[in-house]
């Protein structure tokens, strides 16, 4: 069980079911802290702004809610395409 996860709801289509369901992506606390640290570092190096923990957390929450679902879904589509291509290759080995 992940303690205090950041939860990102990803809209996914389930085959055989009309409509959409919500799936959760949970991020462990140590990864969350590392992400917040990276955001703060980025703002300092690129914008010369000293961003606090709360500001970095709000930015992270925004990206997880608004952008991460598209990236996650693209990853699923890419994986599906890759596996489908490999399965087609397997059919070529039939005797």
Least Cα distance to 25 among 87, 84, 56, 70 occurs for 70
User: What is the pLDDT averaged over residues 11-25?
Assistant: 53
Cα–Cα distance for residue pair 94/90, rounded to 1 Å: 7
Confidence of residue 19 (pLDDT cuts 50, 70, 90): low
For 36-78, write each residue's pLDDT tens digit: 999 999 999 999 999 999 999 999 999 998 999 999 999 999 9
Cα–Cα distance for residue pair 43/60, rounded to 1 Å: 13
Confidence of residue 23 (pLDDT cuts 50, 70, 90): low
In the chain, domain spans: 29-91
């Amino acid at each position: 069980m992940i303690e205090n996860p950041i939860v990102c709801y990803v809209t996914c289509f389930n085959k055989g079911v009309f409509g959409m369901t919500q799936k959760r992506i949970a991020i462990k606390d140590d990864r969350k802290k590392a992400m917040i640290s990276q955001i703060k570092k980025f703002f300092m190096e690129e914008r010369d702004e000293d961003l606090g923990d709360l500001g970095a957390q709000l930015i992270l929450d925004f990206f997880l809610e608004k952008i991460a679902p598209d990236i996650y879904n693209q990853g699923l589509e890419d994986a599906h395409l890759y596996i489908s291509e490999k399965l087609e290759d397997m059919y070529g080995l039939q005797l």
